Amino acid sequence: MALWIEKYRPTSFDEIIGQKDSVEKLKAMVKNGDIQHMILSGPPGVGKTTSSVVLAKAVFGNVWTQNFMELNASDDRKLSVIQGKVKEFARSRPIDAPFKMILFDEADSLTQEAQQALRRMMEEYSSTCRFVFSVNYQSNIIEPLQSRCAILRFQPLSKTDVYEFIDRVAKNEGLTMDNEAKEALEYVSKGDLRALTNVMQSLSNISKKITSMAVYANAGILDSGKIKQGLKLALSGDYVKSRETFETILESGINMKEVISEVFDILSSSDDLVDKKSKNYVIEKLAETDYRIVEGATPYIQFQSFLAFLSSLKG
Ligand SMILES: Nc1ncnc2c1ncn2[C@@H]1O[C@H](COP(=O)(O)OP(=O)(O)OP(=O)(O)O)[C@@H](O)[C@H]1O
Ligand SMILES: [Mg+2]
């Protein structure tokens, strides 16, 4: 099965979401035929590697693979590699192109020593080769290299950007989801589209309908909004609906112990669910429920009884 992170990797500038400033700069370089050495810095999964490859394709056309070399973190980063493989590539003649391009992906891990060697190489071979560094932190690149590079800052993607990407994948894969699920995807992936794509792909194997519950459960996170909603239902006297809500929470693979501890956090920290007078009483009941479970009573039945108690407060 093909990996979605490859399937959905943009192949042209137009497909790159957000990153307007950086993309504009890159496009201008292509247009003017003036490609500089560059540092692309920014958080994970926002398009740095993607943009470098798109740039290489735009500059070199169908001879891009011959003129573009990518070294990633799994490659040897030692000085010997820089002086061997890299040097050989940098000094060799470009093929049907004015220069070659080499991408140091995840360059944060390049040693100082290696960077010093690169600095000399950049001077020596700047007529035949352009150096591109992709990093999470610009400060991991030594000052003399920074000063030789144009710096392109990749921004964290906005919610709208992330949603655009989700919609693109969902549409193409025939996935359905509501807004809550999208919010959950954005939340668990923290704007890292690589992480996001992987979550979507693994959830799609379970069901074409993606729910927020499934997203949170996949990330091992409790959906506290959903738990609060279940508590509200119970406190409004609707025991049946409340029970159903908690059933879906438990079905997503979260265990009772985690649910109870979240219920405790919610009840003890919020003042809008139960009034001050009942609060102590409710928490006492919850502690009792917890105790019985620890003692060996059936967790599910004990928790139902707690919900029934909450519902009875209304009457
Ligand atoms: N701006 C973007 N527009 C569209 N897709 C994107 C964008 N950024 C990332 N992606 C998607 O996420 C995947 C990973 O992106 P990419 O490898 O470019 O991230 P990166 O910024 O290099 O991250 P890292 O710092 O972890 O190397 C791509 O395959 C692509 O599907
Ligand atoms: Mg990358």
What's at 177, amino acid-wise? M
Percent of the chain with pLDDT over 90: 79
Identify the residues whose C-beta falls under 6 Å from ligand 1.
Answer: 5, 8-10, 16-19, 44-50, 106, 134, 136, 165, 193-194, 197
Average pLDDT, rounded, for the chain = 92
Measured by CA distance, the residue closest to atom 16 of ligand 1 is 47
Q: Which ligand is nearest to the CA of 196?
A: 1
The 10s digit of each residue's pLDDT in 257-273 is 889 999 999 999 888 88
**Residue range 138-154: average pLDDT?**
96
Q: What is the whole-number distance in angstroms between the Cα of residue 46 and the centre of ligand 2?
A: 8
What's at 110, amino acid-wise? L
Both structure tokens of 60: 């070199």
> Kind and range of the H or E element at 307?
helix 299-314
* Residues 19-153, CATH architecture: 3-Layer(aba) Sandwich (3.40)
In angstroms, the CA 171 to CA 188 distance is 21
According to the model, what pLDDT value does residue 234 have?
Answer: 96
In angstroms, the CA 15 to CA 158 distance is 16
Residue among 194, 198, 201 to mutate when testing ligand 1 (max atoms within 8 A of CB) = 194
**Sequence spans of domains, the chain:** 19-153, 159-218, 224-314
Residues with CB in 5 Å of ion ligand 2: 49
| pTM listed for this prediction | 0.80
According to the model, what pLDDT value does residue 2 have?
Answer: 84
**Residue range 97-115: average pLDDT?**
92
**Residue range 309-314: average pLDDT?**
92
Taking 3-state DSSP, the helix, strand and coil percentages for the chain, each rounded to the nearest 5, stand at 60, 10, 30
In angstroms, the CA 82 to CA 96 distance is 25
The 10s digit of each residue's pLDDT in 34-61 is 999 999 999 999 999 999 999 999 999 9
Number of DSSP helices (H) and strands (E) in the chain, helices first:
17, 7
According to the model, what pLDDT value does residue 225 have?
Answer: 87
Q: Does residue 78 or residue 174 have the better pLDDT?
A: 174
Both structure tokens of 29: 């370089």
Phi, psi of 137 (to 5 degrees): -130, 120
Q: Smallest Cα–Cα separation from 73: which of 35, 93, 44, 37?
A: 44
For the domain spanning 159-218, the CATH number is 1.10.8.60
In angstroms, the CA 174 to CA 157 distance is 24
In angstroms, the CA 19 to CA 208 distance is 30
Q: What is the whole-number distance in angstroms between the Cα of residue 231 and the centre of ligand 1?
A: 39
pLDDT > 70? residue 74: no
Percent of the chain with pLDDT over 70: 98
First to last CA, the chain: 56
- Give the distance, in angstroms, between the CA of residue 154 and the centroid of all CA atoms in the same chain: 14
Q: What is the whole-number distance in angstroms between the Cα of residue 243 and the centre of ligand 2?
A: 45
Q: DSSP letters of 278-290?
A: HHHHHHHHHHHHH
* Residues 224-314, CATH architecture: Up-down Bundle (1.20)
Measured by CA distance, the residue closest to atom 18 of ligand 1 is 47
Q: What is the whole-number distance in angstroms between the Cα of residue 26 and the centre of ligand 1?
A: 16
In angstroms, the CA 82 to CA 117 distance is 7
What's at 280, amino acid-wise? N
Measured by CA distance, the residue closest to atom 11 of ligand 1 is 193
The 10s digit of each residue's pLDDT in 162-216 is 999 999 999 999 999 999 999 999 999 999 999 999 999 999 998 999 999 899 8
Which residues have CB under 8 Å from 238's CB, separation 6+? 311
In angstroms, the CA 50 to CA 63 distance is 18
* Cβ atoms of residues 119 and 145 within 8 Å: yes
Q: What is the whole-number distance in angstroms between the Cα of residue 109 and the centre of ligand 2?
A: 13
Determine the atom of ligand 1 nearest the C-alpha atom of 193. 12
Question: For residues 134-158, b (16+ Cβ closer than 10 Å) or e, as one string?
Answer: bbeebebbeeebeebbeebebbebe
DSSP 206: T
Q: Which ligand is nearest to the CA of 201?
A: 1
pLDDT > 70? residue 75: no
